[in-house]
Amino acid sequence: EIPDIANPTRTRAIMESYGLTFKKSLGQNFLTDINILKNIVAAADVSQDDDVIEIGPGIGALTEQIAKRAHSVMALEIDDRLLPVLADTLSPYPNVKVVHQDVLKADLQKLISENFDGKHNIKLVANLPYYITTPILMHLLDSGIDFATIVVMMQKEVAERLAAEPGTKAYGSLSVAVQYEMDSEISFIVPKTVFVPQPNVDSAIIVLNKKAIKPAQPKDEAHFKKLVKGSFLHRRKSLWNNLQSLYGKDAETKDKMEQVLENVDINKAIRGEKLTVADFVRLSDALVNAGI
Task: Please say which residue, 28 or 187, places its beta carbon nearer to ligand SAM.
Answer: 28
Residue 137 interacts with ligand SAM (CB under 6 A)? no
CA 170 to chain centre: 16
Angstrom distance (rounded) from CA 153 to CA 163: 15
CA 6 to chain centre: 23
Residues 19-38 as x/- pattern, contact with ligand SAM by CB under 6 A: -------xxxxxx-------
Task: Please say which residue, 27 or 218, places its beta carbon nearer to ligand SAM.
Answer: 27
Shortest distance in whole angstroms from residue 173 CB to ligand SAM: 20
Residue 104 interacts with ligand SAM (CB under 6 A)? yes
Angstrom distance (rounded) from CA 121 to CA 141: 17
Footprint of ligand SAM on 229-268 (CB under 6 A) = none
Shortest distance in whole angstroms from residue 232 CB to ligand SAM: 23
Is the bond preceding residue 197 a cis peptide, omega within 30 degrees?
yes
Task: Please say which residue, 104 or 233, places its beta carbon nearer to ligand SAM.
Answer: 104
Interface stretch with ligand SAM, choices 71-79, 88-96, 155-163, 238-246 (CB under 6 A): 71-79
Sign of CA dihedral 9, 11, 13, 19: negative
Sign of CA dihedral 69, 138, 169, 210: negative
Residue 55 interacts with ligand SAM (CB under 6 A)? yes
Residue 76 interacts with ligand SAM (CB under 6 A)? yes
Shortest distance in whole angstroms from residue 4 CB to ligand SAM: 12
Footprint of ligand SAM on 79-98 (CB under 6 A) = 79
Shortest distance in whole angstroms from residue 185 CB to ligand SAM: 20
Among 102, 142, 255, 258, binds ligand SAM (CB under 6 A): 102
Among candidate residues 85, 101, 186, the one with its CA nearest the CA of residue 136: 101
Residue 277 interacts with ligand SAM (CB under 6 A)? no
Among 67, 70, 78, 283, binds ligand SAM (CB under 6 A): 78
Q: Taking CB positions, which residue lies at the least distance from ligand SAM?
A: 56
Footprint of ligand SAM on 113-132 (CB under 6 A) = 127, 129, 132
Angstrom distance (rounded) from CA 159 to CA 153: 8
Shortest distance in whole angstroms from residue 99 CB to ligand SAM: 9
Helices 173-181 and 221-231 cross at an angle (nearest 10°) of 150
Number of residues near ligand SAM (by CB under 6 A): 22
Query: Which residue ranges make up the site for ligand SAM (CB under 6 A)?
Result: 26-31, 55-58, 61-62, 76-79, 102-104, 127, 129, 132
